Amino acid sequence: QIQLVQSGPELKKPGESVKISCKASGYTFTDYAMHWVKQVPGKGLKWMGWINTYTGKPTYADDFKGRFVFSLEASASTANLQISNLKNEDTANVFCARNGRKTNSGAFDFWGPGTMVTVSS
């Protein structure tokens, strides 16, 4: 069965970096794009961008350009998100989500459980 397993919660100080992983199983990893979605506790969902799991090319939403890096370990069917120079406003639950169509033109049919990132001094 298809699963996305994310790394555990993180507690960081402002200015530090964090790397979140999303390991996929149950399907061919390189056939489907991986998206990243942010949710501040008690708030709505915000799209961060996506990575082409075949070519490794990332696309970032405007608010997530500069300190955010999407990467792959394709041999391990894993997508990663690194956030550098963390700020208090990065405190959120971050989800990876699979695009449900091979053309990356679909809805998000499978989601990871989320990784809670807390930034606090």
Partner 1 sequence: DIQMTQSPSSMSASLGDTVTITCLASQDIGNYLSWYQQKPGKSPKLMIYGATNLEDGVPSRFSGSRSGSDYSLTINSLGYDDEGIYHCHQYYEYPDTFGAGTKLELK
CB of 81 to partner 1, least distance (A): 15
Tell me the three-class secondary structure of 48-65, residue by residue: EEEECCCCCCEEECHHHC
Q: Report residue 10: phi and psi, to 5°.
A: -130, 140
- 8 Å CB contact between 68 and 85: no
* Residue 62 vs 89, nearer CB to partner 1: 62
* Residue 42 vs 121, nearer CB to partner 1: 42
Question: Which of 83, 77, 51, 78 shows the shortest CA–CA distance to 64?
Answer: 83
111: contact with partner 1 by CB under 8 A: yes
CB of 112 to partner 1, least distance (A): 6
Q: Which residue has the tokens 């799209």?
A: 47
Site size toward partner 1, by CB under 8 A: 21
52: contact with partner 1 by CB under 8 A: no
Q: Which of 47, 52, 69, 118 binds partner 1 (CB under 8 A)?
A: 47
Window 59-88: residues binding partner 1 (CB under 8 A): 59, 61-62
100: contact with partner 1 by CB under 8 A: yes
The sign of the CA dihedral 47, 104, 25, 64 is: negative
46: contact with partner 1 by CB under 8 A: yes
